Amino acid sequence: MIYITRREQFNAAHRLYRDDFSDEQNRKVFGKCSNPNWHGHNYTLFVTVRGHVNPETGFLVNLKDLSRIIQEQVVEYIDHKNLNVEVPFMKGRLASTENLAKAIWEQLETPVKTLGAELHCVKIYETENNIVDYFGE
């Protein structure tokens, strides 16, 4: 069993807030992250998959394939986008990094299987100080 991780990046706008909260409540709960005019981040994404090394190639998966899947399933939907208003897989979810990690897991879990590997971890750096890991359960 070996673990392989691919790093990808995307830049997005977002805002933390609830429709059913007043502006004041949103500010109280989410602080400056609730700014109605949005703010944004350079998100860094680490996707880890696991499985057995293919003796034919010495690879668990070809990282080009893993990168392509992450691009197609995740980055193209969220890079230079607004997480709250135009990302299909974030619809109906608060745009927190926790929820983003879960949504990215759902986007990747099945496609990764086509590579003969199993999704192990979705890690997101929202900033260099704030990091979320999700292991699918």
Active site residue ranges:
33, 80, 126
Phi, psi of 111, rounded to the nearest 5 degrees: -55, -35
Map residue 118 onto helix, strand or coil: strand
Give residue for tokens 């830049």: 11
Q: If binding is defined by CB under 8 A, does position 8 make contact with a copy of itself?
A: yes
Among 27, 89, 96, 118, binds a copy of itself (CB under 8 A): 96
> Maximum distance among all alpha carbons in the chain?
60
Q: If binding is defined by CB under 8 A, does position 88 make contact with a copy of itself?
A: no
Q: If binding is defined by CB under 8 A, does position 5 make contact with a copy of itself?
A: yes
Q: With 0-12 CB in 10 A as exposed, 13-18 as middle and 19+ as buried, what is 23?
A: exposed
Residues that bind a copy of itself (CB under 8 A): 1-9, 11-14, 16, 18, 29-33, 35, 37-42, 46, 48, 53, 56-60, 62-64, 67, 79-82, 85-86, 93-96, 98-99, 101-102, 127-135, 137
